[in-house]
């Protein structure tokens, strides 16, 4: 149904829901050594620290709610064939009502077995050293850490290749391979970037329109515009 819209979202999408971004001033990485809290090596060295870092994120997400940007994106589905490719591990797109969401970097409300990676469980409470899967192995967050494979990348790349319109919202595009996805779009594909501090401009993509606003403000206006164009 309708044209295909692919939406690449990052931490800025959820900033207006009170969840911190990673690289902004006062961002999540400010107080943490990234490799200590988000790498297999860091987990092996200090599992308590890593599990507590994600416990905090999980607790915070329990009380967060989708913002006007998330809600607006869900409305696009009445007029377009929409897929959201998110780097976010929160479930705010789901809770806002979007139906096709690819979580490139995993999901905070899931955990998996360290002994059987295919054993993935829904999980909303804390995990600690000693929290075991039904087969008796330690649980870990279902998150793609630095240095780990991004299993959903090929799927996301092929969907992006077929996009008629590409939206990019709230990502610094610093982290690969996710940032490279925008290059899969066919040359000439209309692109929109919503970010108060955009890292791309027309020099990068002649068909790019930059909306230098926060997601909760810029996305509803853009969505209304796209819906008008769909009819």
Which of 93-131 are b and which e, b meaning 16 or more Cβ less than 10 Å from the residue's Cβ? bbebebeebebbbbbbbbbbbeeeeeeeeebeeebeeee
Residue 104: name the closest of 82, 90, 129, 87 by CA. 87
Site residues (CB under 6 A) for ligand APR? Answer: 10-12, 15-16, 21-24, 27, 87, 105, 170-172, 174-175, 195-197, 199, 214-215
How far apart CA 84 and CA 21 sit, in angstroms, is 18
Q: Do 95 and 73 meet the contact criterion of CB atoms below 8 Å apart? A: no
Q: Which is nearer to ligand APR, 116 or 212 (CB)?
A: 212
Polymer length of the chain: 231
Q: Is the peptide bond before 33 cis (omega within 30 degrees of 0)?
A: no
Kindly state the smallest distance separating residue 92's Cβ from ligand APR, in Å.
13
Q: Which is nearer to ligand APR, 101 or 133 (CB)?
A: 101
Kindly state the smallest distance separating residue 108's Cβ from ligand APR, in Å.
11
Q: Which of 70, 79, 93, 105 is catalytic?
A: 105
Q: Which two tokens stand for residue 151?
A: 């299993």
Q: Which is nearer to ligand APR, 139 or 144 (CB)?
A: 144
Kindly state the smallest distance separating residue 171's Cβ from ligand APR, in Å.
3
Q: State which residue has the least CB distance to ligand APR.
A: 12
93 is catalytic: no
Q: Which is nearer to ligand APR, 30 or 225 (CB)?
A: 30
How far apart CA 224 and CA 72 sit, in angstroms, is 8
Kindly state the smallest distance separating residue 159's Cβ from ligand APR, in Å.
18
C-alpha distances in Å from residue 89, one per residue of 137, 142, 167, 192, 223? 23, 9, 19, 22, 23
Q: Which residues are catalytic?
A: 105
């Amino acid at each position: 149904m309708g044209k295909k819209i692919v939406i690449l979202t990052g931490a800025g999408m959820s900033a207006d829901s009170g969840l911190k971004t990673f690289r902004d001033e006062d961002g999540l990485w400010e107080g943490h050594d990234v490799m200590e809290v988000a790498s297999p090596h860091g987990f092996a060295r200090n599992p308590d620290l890593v599990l507590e870092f994600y416990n905090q994120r999980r607790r915070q997400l329990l009380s967060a709610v989708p913002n006007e940007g998330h809600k607006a994106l869900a409305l696009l589905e009445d007029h377009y064939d929409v897929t959201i490719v998110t780097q976010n591990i929160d479930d705010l797109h789901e809770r806002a009502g979007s139906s096709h969401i690819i979580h490139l970097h995993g999901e905070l409300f899931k955990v998996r077995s360290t002994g059987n990676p295919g054993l993935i469980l829904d999980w909303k409470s804390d995990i600690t050293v000693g929290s075991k899967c039904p087969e008796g192995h330690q649980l870990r967050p279902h998150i793609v850490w630095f240095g780990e494979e991004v299993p959903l990348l090929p799927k996301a790349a092929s969907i992006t290749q077929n996009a008629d319109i590409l939206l990019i919202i709230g990502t610094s595009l610093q982290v690969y391979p996710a940032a490279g996805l925008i290059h899969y779009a066919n040359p000439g594909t209309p692109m929109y970037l919503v970010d108060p501090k955009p890292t791309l401009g027309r020099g990068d993509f002649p068909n790019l329109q930059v909306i230098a606003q926060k997601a909760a403000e810029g996305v509803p206006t853009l969505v209304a515009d796209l819906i008008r164009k769909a009819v």
